[in-house]
Structure 1
Amino acid sequence: MDEIINQRRQIDEIDEEIMRLLGERVRICRSIGLLKRRRGFQIEDVQREKEVLAHVKEKAERFELNPELTERIYRLIIELCRVVQHVDE
């Protein structure tokens, strides 16, 4: 049981790091949104989103993750960032 508890603690630490990095990503996206508005660009950049998703699917395979599920997760992350960029309008 101790081994399970230890591994769960490791998962908790990893989850915290994931959240920290997600927060950092959102802050950067917010900054990009401000720059886009100042320059008169659209918030949505479909081409960039396609590039990110293709890159993520490729990386998923290298890390032995399911590419389709990883893509779904990243679609949600992209949506989160898009919402943050629109909220600041």
Structure 2
Amino acid sequence: MKQLPKEFYAAMEELQAVDFVLVDLTLYLDTHPEDYDAINQFNQFAKERRRLKKVVESMYGPLQQFGNSYSGYPWNWDDGPWPWQI
């Protein structure tokens, strides 16, 4: 298995924490769609997620398929790690 630096795992943990907040806020907003503060918080975390994703991908390669992440040249989807290897 490809060995990655410890910084990769720290960055992924930060990204996963932001994802958790976004899922939680999504569930909350499904039942409180007019909570202005929660919507602002969701948008702030969505912006932070895009920033973190860009940082991680620039250092370690694409995270998502189906056009959600760009590929480097040559095609670098096999550079891993795969999700179950994290």
TM-score w.r.t. the length of structure 1 is: 0.35
Larger Rg: 1 or 2? 1
TM-score w.r.t. the length of structure 2 is: 0.36
Point out which structure has higher relative CO (alpha carbons under 8 A, 6+ apart): 1
